[in-house]
Amino acid sequence: MTNFSYEVFSEVARQKTFIAAAKQLQVTPSAISHSINSLEKDLGFSLFVRSRSGVRLTPNGQRVLPLIQDILNAEATLNEEAALINGLNKGRVRIGAFSSVCINWLPDIINKFKNIYPDIEVTVWQGNFNDVVEQVKLGILDIGFSALPIEENLEVIPLYKDPIYCITPQDFKLHRGKSITRDDIKNEKFILQQIDYDRDTKRALDTYNVSVNSLQYSIDDASIIAMVESGLGLGILPELALQNLSGNVNRYIFSEHFYRTICLVTHQKKQQTPSVKAFVSIIKNYISDRYGDIN
């Protein structure tokens, strides 16, 4: 079995406190501290900078984290293959996703998976596009839902082109037609999530010459709807994010159509465990059943 200190190191790097890592691994904080101290002694350098608020990786700790994560993932693959050989159905799948996927897709996907593989552990971590990709790249997550483009050298599977809409108060009047034009929004303010101001949202705003000075920020999609409803500005939200949101607002397509491409991000197939491969298959089938064949 792999050195337990490797598992402790990985968990502390993820949780950023000894206490949280101890709770997750079901050991005492002193055991966590002893394990990290022992590993640092064996390696010959410090892995974490300690402070009252928690810990953060040193530059050397950042260098060895992917290597140690590879060792842990290799052992997980070995254990799963052994379980398959012995006719067992065990393993784990660690998923990262942004909020609208967590709300609208993952409950059904996980239920379908658990119906077939009830003994495989499934965990979900929520974050933004870039954070999810980074956690997959480090090996802390097995599967990530993000949006194109993806620059890292990972397995990327486009899943769904999610249309982007302009959200307005109910009394908002279009200048002409049924879609948003430059004339409609040239003097309007927009309310966004800060983390969304990149990729396709930025492309849409840039196309319509919306300046940075016209942007305000909110904490989540529901807050954007509430602020738009009260007349504080317009919003831009994709279709998936709108599915479980309600409010006295209108949504319009833009005169030039925009969408974000939601994708699946994993390590290369040869590095995936049997559990991860099975979960990826469930995801593909779910998207195909709901939206049609994946392009």
The string of pLDDT tens digits covering residues 124-137 is 999 999 999 999 99
**Dist CA 275 CA 256 (whole Å):** 41
- Residue 152: predicted pLDDT: 82
Tens-digit pLDDT profile for residues 178-216:
899 999 998 899 998 877 666 788 888 888 888 888 888
Residue for token pair 């307005």: 168
Identity of the highest mean pLDDT range in 76-80, 96-100, 289-293: 96-100
| Mean pLDDT score across all residues of the chain | 89
Are residues 105 and 113 in contact, defined by beta-carbon separation less than 8 angstroms? no
Helix (H, G, I), strand (E, B) or coil at 190: strand
The residue ranges of DSSP E strands in 30-152, in sequence order, are: 48-51, 54-57, 91-97, 120-126, 143-147
Whole-number Cα distances in Å, 100 to 71, 241, 282: 32, 5, 19
Give pLDDT tens digits for 253-294.
999 889 999 999 998 887 888 889 999 999 999 999 999 876
| Cβ 166 vs Cβ 251: under 8 Å | yes
CA distance 184 to 174: 6
Q: Is 139 exposed, middle or buried (0-12, 13-18, 19+ CB in 10 A)?
A: buried
| Tokens matching residue 179 | 């879609």
- Helix, strand, coil content of the chain in percent (nearest 5): 50, 25, 30
Q: Residue 198: its pLDDT value, please? A: 65
Q: What is the pLDDT of residue 293?
A: 74
How far is Cα 189 from Cα 215, in angstroms, rounded to an integer? 6
CB 120 within 8 A of CB 143: no
Confidence class for position 107, pLDDT limits 50, 70, 90? very high
pLDDT at 211: 86
| Whether the Cβ atoms of residue 295 and residue 158 lie closer than 8 Å to each other | yes
CB 56 within 8 A of CB 64: no
User: Band of the pLDDT at 144, cuts 50, 70, 90?
Assistant: very high
Task: Tell me the per-residue pLDDT of 233-245, one tens digit each, with 9 for 90 and over.
Answer: 999 999 999 987 8
Residue 245: per-residue pLDDT:
82
The whole-number pLDDT of residue 199 equals 75
For 24-72, write each residue's pLDDT tens digit.
Answer: 888 888 889 999 999 999 999 999 999 988 999 999 999 999 999 989 8
Is 250 in a helix, a strand, or coil?
A: strand
In angstroms, rounded to a whole number, what is the distance separating the alpha carbons of residues 278 and 88? Answer: 15
Across the range 152-169, mean pLDDT stands at 93
- Percent of the chain residues topping a pLDDT of 90: 57
In order of their start, the domains of the chain are 1-63 (1.10.10.10), 158-258 (3.40.190.10)
Residue 87: per-residue pLDDT: 57
Nearest Cα residue to 192 out of 213, 215, 158, 172? 215
